[in-house]
């Protein structure tokens, strides 16, 4: 029989072990968050996400609505692309410019291509000018073509923002200029200094939806120079304000940025929502209110590079391949199957960003089955191999997950790798009887 002293020694050793183990797990789980706090981006707000899953890789004050300036144009362009895809607009459609829009295009305080009432411009030309050169009057002309007037188009923009879940958005102008700069196209009931605001997380969500729904936008946002209205009265050589594009001053070969949109104003400072695809995996970053000493101030791109490089140094993108299983995932019951249980597997290739010291071996999954393939709280048999049966909610004890939708688990489609056959009537009946007792 152990003495009291021996029992005390054993309990002390157990307590020391538990303290060491707990501190180790806590340290691992907090390693990424503590690293993010030392990044010290010189911006008011920022976020970095995986472009496909919306996994948040970095965030700083990302829920606070701030002025977004010309990043607004991404929402207007979303509507333009929607109209083109729906057949309501065509790229070669000729657009007439009214007097108010032509006057706006001559405002030298704003980025513009000059427009005249005596000439027409194609939807494609105005679209390119809006994205590449951030031409304010060009996007107004597109809004008028779609809705007939700036205020009706603004209603459409607000409805679209609500539909996309951009709940922080406050929208005054289609281009991102202030209410006062819009002149006669602004709102007489609102202060002249009013301008569009949105949170960094909602800007990232908008960019994510754009890239998923209309990936062709990258063909334009990756263009560093282009001539507007070539041979016409408004001919203008446009150079993108995204200085991280190839051939421009902030280009970096190890960060092949191909979009998306800048935005700057007195209230907004310098903003940039960028995207880069590296080693087959795309991320989206947003930096808001970087230094803005002049239109050529590179601060927003310096901070974006810092953020992008930090993401790639801190995380590794891991592809969970279709058909892969997890040792720590749920075993699923098959109440009326020949086999009473089965395992589930990844239903499609899915990317998860793990901290450099993590591995997929630490991932744990909880299965959530679709009602259409279940009976008696398990899988319905028979089912063919490869059938999608629900989702697997993945977590890891060494790293916390965060997603744009507010979730803390990675939801992966799941399938069964092997067919499930149904047990005969006698076996099914016996299981029902046994279940009662």
Which segments of 214-298 does DSSP mark as H helices, in order?
217-221
In the block, which residue shows the tokens 């691992």? 28
Phi, psi of 319, deg, nearest 5: -90, 120
Residue tagged active-site, from 70, 175, 201, 329: 70
Q: Cα dihedral angle (52, 55, 61, 65), rounded to 10 degrees?
A: 40
**Nearest C-alpha neighbor of 378 from the set 430, 418, 341, 329:** 341
Q: Are 202 and 225 in contact (CB under 8 A)?
A: no
Q: Is 70 a catalytic residue?
A: yes
Q: Is 73 a catalytic residue?
A: yes
Whole-number Å distance between alpha carbons of 30 and 8: 33
E strand or H helix that includes residue 79: helix 73-85
Residue tagged active-site, from 36, 45, 60, 73: 73
Q: Is 149 a catalytic residue?
A: no
428 three-class SS: helix
Residue tagged active-site, from 45, 130, 134, 240: 134
Q: Please report, for residues 57, 64, 205, the alpha-carbon distance to residue 403 in angstroms, rounded to integers and kept in the order given.
A: 9, 17, 11
Whole-number Å distance between alpha carbons of 353 and 316: 5
E strand or H helix that includes residue 48: strand 45-50
User: Would the annotation count 261 as a binding residue?
Assistant: yes
- Report CA torsion sign: 13, 16, 21, 22: positive
In the block, which residue shows the tokens 């700069």? 181
Catalytic residue ranges = 70, 73, 134
- Annotated binding residues for substrate, written as ranges, equal 261
- Annotated binding residues, written as ranges, equal 261
């Amino acid at each position: 029989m152990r003495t009291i002293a021996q029992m005390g020694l054993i309990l002390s050793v157990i307590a020391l072990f538990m303290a060491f183990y707990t501190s180790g797990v806590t340290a691992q789980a907090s390693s990424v968050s503590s690293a993010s706090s030392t990044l010290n981006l010189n911006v008011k707000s920022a976020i970095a996400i995986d472009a496909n899953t919306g996994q948040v890789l970095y965030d700083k004050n990302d829920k606070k609505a701030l002025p977004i300036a010309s990043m607004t144009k991404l929402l207007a362009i979303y509507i333009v692309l929607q109209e083109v895809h729906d057949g309501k607009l065509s790229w070669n459609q000729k657009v007439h410019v009214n007097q108010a829009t032509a006057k706006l295009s001559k405002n030298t305080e704003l980025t513009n291509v000059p427009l005249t009432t005596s000439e027409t411009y194609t939807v494609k030309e105005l679209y390119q000018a809006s994205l590449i050169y951030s031409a304010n009057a060009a996007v107004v002309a597109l809004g008028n073509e779609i809705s007939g007037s700036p205020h009706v188009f603004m209603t459409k923009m607000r409805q679209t923002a609500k539909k996309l879940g951009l709940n922080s958005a406050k929208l005054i102008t289609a281009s991102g200029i202030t209410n006062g700069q819009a002149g006669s196209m602004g709102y007489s009931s609102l202060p002249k200094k009013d301008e569009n605001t949105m949170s960094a997380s909602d800007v990232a969500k908008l960019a994510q939806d754009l890239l998923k729904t209309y990936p062709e936008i990258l063909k334009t946002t990756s263009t560093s120079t282009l001539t507007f209205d070539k041979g016409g009265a408004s001919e203008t050589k446009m150079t993108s304000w995204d200085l991280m594009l190839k051939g421009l001053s902030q280009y970096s070969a190890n960060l092949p940025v191909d979009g998306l949109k800048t935005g700057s104003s007195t209230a907004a400072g310098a903003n940039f929502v960028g995207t880069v695809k590296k080693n087959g995996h795309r991320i989206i970053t947003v930096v808001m209110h970087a230094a803005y000493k002049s239109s050529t101030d590179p601060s927003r791109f310096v901070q974006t590079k810092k953020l992008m490089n930090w993401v790639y140094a801190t995380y590794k993108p891991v592809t969970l391949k279709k058909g892969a299983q997890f040792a720590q995932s749920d075993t699923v019951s098959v109440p009326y199957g020949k086999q009473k249980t089965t395992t589930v597997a990844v239903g499609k290739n899915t990317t998860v960003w793990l901290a450099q010291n993590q591995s997929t071996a630490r991932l744990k999954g909880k299965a959530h089955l679709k009602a259409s393939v279940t009976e008696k709280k398990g899988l319905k048999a028979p089912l063919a191999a490869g059938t999608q049966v629900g989702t697997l909610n993945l977590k890891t004890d060494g790293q916390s997950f965060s997603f744009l939708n507010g979730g803390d688990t990675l939801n992966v489609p799941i399938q069964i790798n092997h067919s499930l056959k149904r047990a005969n009537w006698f076996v099914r009946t016996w299981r029902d009887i046994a279940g009662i007792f």
